[in-house]
Structure 1
Amino acid sequence: MYDPTRLAALVAVAEAGSITRAAARLGYTAPALSQQLAKLEREAGAALLVRHHRGARLTAAGELLAARARRVLDEMDRARHELARLAGLSGGRLRVGTFTTAGIHLLPPVLTAFRRAHPDVELAVADYEPPDGVSAVASGAVDLALTHAYEPASPVPLPAGVAAEPLLVEELVLVTAPGHALAGGSGRLPVAGLAGQPLISSAPSHPPRQGVEAALAAAGATPAVVCESPGYALVCALVSAGLGVAVVPEMVAAMAMTPLGVRALEPAGLRRTISVAHRPGEASPAADTLRALLRGAFGRAGAS
């Protein structure tokens, strides 16, 4: 049986004329969409696409499968719409909070899937620097919010009536300029190996910086912070330019817009947990549905 997500990818390429444009439409990266299409070709046992300098076109087998896929996807949309009416998802508004990294790299495909299944539900997305999203859930400003917590760091207690469901746990890793000596070794780099290195870090009160500095102190090393930046995108850009090294979450390193060297650290106790905060006693069908989509999407992200 063909995966509907891959069938939708094929139809999107047929309509957009290129993998890059189709990926942007679906909320994926081009490499991720290419992987889905390659899996579909293996399932079909035939080449479905021919790539050319201006994009991609479907082969005869691809055209045949895309025509059938449109019918399948249309029927699935009808079924979702009818089920949504039964579940109370035929209207209303769902307010979602997120922080920047998850909002850029993980949330769009989830919202695309939600909108496809429930086009009558109005979506609103707001940006919150954790733990402000949790407060927004508690006050009723949003229905649910993606948030994060770092280890080691003192846990922030949740407000009454708010629960946090963990979705993804990722390590913090070292990022350097390409070709940097610390990125070239094999295996994990002991944290003590950062002694004397110029660190690009966040504000002193930011939990990841506190965790890194605590780990360095435990290893008998003194941090040498040469630059502070409020956002990971700028941190990675400065590192890529050779101004220093930094410790960032794996997802940030993997999706940086600038080239980086990446290496895991020892011990592996520096982590970030991404969770969805919600109000269990007041959950709407729309919020429950989006949480289920988040569990599936973040689970795949953690396994990739």
Structure 2
Amino acid sequence: MYDPTRLAALVAVSEAGSITRAAQRLGYTVPALSQQLAKLEREAGTALLVRHHRGARLTGAGEVLVETARRVLDELERARHELARLAGLSGGRLRLGTFTTAGMHLLPPALTASRRAHPDVELSVTDYEPPLGVAAVAAGDVDLALTHTYAPAEPVAAPSSVVLEPVLVEELVLVTAPGQALTAGAGGSSRLPLSELAGQPLISMAPTHPPRQGVESALARAGATPSVLVDAPSYALVCALVSAGLGVAVVPEMVARMSAAPLGWRLLEPGDLRRTISLVHRADESNPAVDSFRALLRGAFGRSGS
């Protein structure tokens, strides 16, 4: 019998087009994900992926197994919902905290699934700019929150009363106006050395956005020149300014892919500028509504195009 975790890994690679990007989305290291895929191939008795310089693609056998894997994972998710319903999760409330990017692109599918599975649970959603969501969970203001951290950055200790569960790690990528030389023709597929940003006009969130300060310092060391300072941590505004040709920016890959403003984008070399999105919940509390929604969110993040 195939391990559902390994099936989910194969589905993630098929959607991401590369083991590296799939590992980032699932919160794995590349070696750990490669090991899971190798075990799945041994279980299947055949090659499921063909690795190439731009990523990985499914073999014929891999395509067959991915279609089955999707059905199996969907059935398991439905079973989790049904078990929660039978356990009595038919009322009460669930208070959620989120930040803008996750609230716009990742939370709605999970909320829709939750409403479908548990229509009697009262939902509320509050916006918290990270790391304020962590404090809100610790204080009991919300039951569950989405937060993020960036790398490089100084580590920040979380209260001992909460647990941060990483669910998605994504690279930061360069975004430019469409057709700009740094991204023209790249399609996000080839990497640009960070040193190539020397002298480029940078739309920057420093110095008023503490989670980004380590990233902004790395860009400054590479020679990027602040052109526009955005005081509010709004990626929608940053992308609109970039699209208008006022400068370049470095944003999470999810933001680049889902921007309403037209952009060019490109991976950077080295790929060590990252954002980690985590679920925050209280360590000493068992709540069926929270546990069910955590499972829904993990499914949403694992299948996202981030």
- Bigger Cα Rg: 1
Unaligned runs of 5+ in 1: 1-38, 44-72
- Would you say the 8 A contact 1:200–1:229 is kept in 2? no
For residues 246 and 224 of structure 2, what CA distance do their matches in structure 1 show? 18
Counterpart residue number, 1:126: 126
1:99-125: CA deviations, max 9, x gaps?
000001100000110110011111111
Look up the SS of the partner of 2:145 in the other structure: strand
Look up the SS of the partner of 1:182 in the other structure: coil
Matched, 1:171 2:171: yes
Matched, 1:225 2:223: no
For residues 173 and 140 of structure 1, what CA distance do their matches in structure 2 show? 35
Alpha-carbon spacing, 1:168–1:194, altered in 2? closer, same or farther (3 Å):
same
Structure 1: 4+ residue segments shifted above 6 A: none
Give 1:203 shift: 3.4
For residues 247 and 267 of structure 2, what CA distance do their matches in structure 1 show? 17
- Mapping of residues 235-254 of structure 1, within 5 Å: 235-254=238-257
- Would you say the 8 A contact 1:213–1:223 is kept in 2? no
For residues 80 and 242 of structure 1, what CA distance do their matches in structure 2 show? 47
Counterpart residue number, 1:15: none
Counterpart residue number, 2:101: 101
1:198-250: CA deviations, max 9, x gaps?
1111131424642333323444x253333324210000000000011100000
Alpha-carbon spacing, 1:216–1:124, altered in 2? closer, same or farther (3 Å):
closer
For residues 225 and 267 of structure 1, what CA distance do their matches in structure 2 show? 23
Counterpart residue number, 2:302: 299
TM-score (norm 2): 0.69
- Higher mean alpha-carbon deviation, 290-299 vs 85-94, is at 85-94
- Would you say the 8 A contact 2:202–2:248 is kept in 1? yes
**1:173 maps to amino acid:** V
- Would you say the 8 A contact 1:168–1:273 is kept in 2? yes
- Would you say the 8 A contact 2:84–2:292 is kept in 1? no
For residues 277 and 286 of structure 2, what CA distance do their matches in structure 1 show? 20
1:25-73: CA deviations, max 9, x gaps?
xxxxxxxxxxxxxx9xxx8xxxxxxxxxxxxxxxxxxxxxxxxxxxxx9
For residues 196 and 146 of structure 2, what CA distance do their matches in structure 1 show? 33
Counterpart residue number, 1:279: 282
CA RMSD of aligned residues (A): 2.3
- Would you say the 8 A contact 1:151–1:269 is kept in 2? yes
Q: Count residues in correspondence.
A: 228
For residues 94 and 280 of structure 2, what CA distance do their matches in structure 1 show? 14
Give 1:158 shift: 0.7
Alpha-carbon spacing, 1:80–1:190, altered in 2? closer, same or farther (3 Å):
closer
**1:301 maps to amino acid:** S
- Would you say the 8 A contact 2:202–2:228 is kept in 1? yes
